[in-house]
């Protein structure tokens, strides 16, 4: 085992490293181990270095417990310094999304990790899964999340909010769906009723019959005369007006009979 610390590459600028980006994956060969880590050939003019803390997610006491010279390993670029001709690697697969990379409005693909009554947790490749609240699963109503998804389903989500301090990510499924058109009852608009002014037609006076005319005429004549002094019923004589009315009625009836 090499007892010396990881030797730093020469402090000279290497333009080849300009195109090397974080999280790029390489298959390499361990060419040297030290108490501080391992040096790995990844096919570049400058080998990369893996610090002992980046050999495994579990604590490592000895580098040789994890890697040895000549071993083939999968590594990812952790940091790159073209001006220093240095590439730092890690054998711990990096997160697809780091906290500083998650922004509001991002559209992502994720896998349903866990179902709860209040929503579902979705693995989007971040340190922690994001939460899709049940109210953000669909525009319609559902009683529980299991009506739409099950554990292991891959779904599309949009980031609603991210709290780096609390390490919380709020997601939405319905934000990627078209909003349903509001169902509006199509009713024909009723035209306002015009104020119809109706003038009551003057009631036509009924044309009196001959008998009625005769009666009216007789009554008018009788009114114009002086009232007859009332006497006892037994001795009362028929008034002159009364006889005249009876005569007019008789003539009217007689004329009417002739016209038939």
Signed CA dihedral, 233, 238, 241, 247: sign only: positive
Q: Do 38 and 29 touch, CB atoms closer than 8 A?
A: no
Structural domain ending residue among the three candidates 90, 120, 143: 90
As a whole number of angstroms, the distance between CA 133 and CA 83 comes to: 47
Percentage of the chain beyond pLDDT 90 is: 58
82 and 137 share one domain: no
Number of domains in the chain: 2
Query: Which parts of the chain fold into alpha helices (H)?
Result: 210-224, 240-259
Please indicate, yes or no, if residue 217 is contained in any of the structural domains.
no
Q: Tell me which residue range forms the domain holding 110.
A: 99-176
Q: Which CATH number fits the domain that encloses residue 31?
A: 2.40.50.140
**pLDDT at position 219:** 74
Q: pLDDT-based confidence at 2, cuts 50/70/90?
A: very low
As a whole number of angstroms, the distance between CA 30 and CA 218 comes to: 145
Lowest mean pLDDT, pick from 14-23, 129-138, 143-152: 14-23
Please indicate, yes or no, if residue 234 is contained in any of the structural domains.
no
As a whole number of angstroms, the distance between CA 169 and CA 129 comes to: 7
More confident residue, 162 or 242: 162
Lowest mean pLDDT, pick from 101-105, 106-110, 253-257: 253-257
**pLDDT at position 179:** 84
Residue 254 has pLDDT above 60, yes or no: yes
- The first and second tokens of residue 153, run together, are 């389903």
Please indicate, yes or no, if residue 136 is contained in any of the structural domains.
yes
Please indicate, yes or no, if residue 187 is contained in any of the structural domains.
no
Residue 8 has pLDDT above 80, yes or no: no
- The first and second tokens of residue 19, run together, are 């195109």
81 and 29 share one domain: yes
């Amino acid at each position: 085992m090499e007892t010396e610390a990881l030797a730093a590459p020469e402090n000279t600028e290497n333009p080849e490293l300009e195109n090397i980006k974080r999280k790029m994956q390489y298959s390499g060969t361990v060419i040297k181990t030290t108490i501080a880590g391992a040096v790995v050939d990844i096919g570049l003019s400058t080998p990369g270095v893996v610090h002992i803390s980046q050999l495994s997610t579990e604590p490592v006491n000895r580098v040789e417990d994890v890697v040895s010279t000549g071993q083939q390993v999968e590594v990812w670029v952790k940091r790159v310094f073209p001006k220093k001709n240095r590439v730092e690697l890690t054998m711990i697969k990096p997160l697809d999304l780091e906290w500083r990379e998650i922004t509001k409005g991002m559209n992502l693909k994720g896998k349903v990790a866990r179902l709860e009554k209040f929503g579902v947790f979705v693995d989007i490749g971040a340190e922690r899964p994001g939460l899709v609240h049940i109210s953000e699963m669909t525009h319609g109503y559902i009683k529980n999340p299991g009506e739409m998804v099950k554990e292991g389903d891959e779904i599309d989500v949009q980031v609603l909010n991210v709290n780096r301090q609390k390490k919380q990510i709020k997601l939405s499924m319905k934000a990627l769906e078209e909003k349903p058109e509001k169902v509006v009852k199509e009713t024909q608009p009723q035209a306002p009723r015009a104020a119809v002014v109706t003038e009551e037609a003057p009631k036509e006076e009924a044309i009196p019959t001959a008998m009625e005319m005769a009666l009216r005429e007789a009554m008018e004549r009788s009114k114009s005369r002086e009232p007859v002094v009332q006497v006892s019923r037994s001795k009362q004589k028929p008034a002159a007006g009364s006889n005249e009315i009876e005569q007019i009625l008789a003539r009217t009836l007689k004329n009417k009979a002739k016209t038939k």
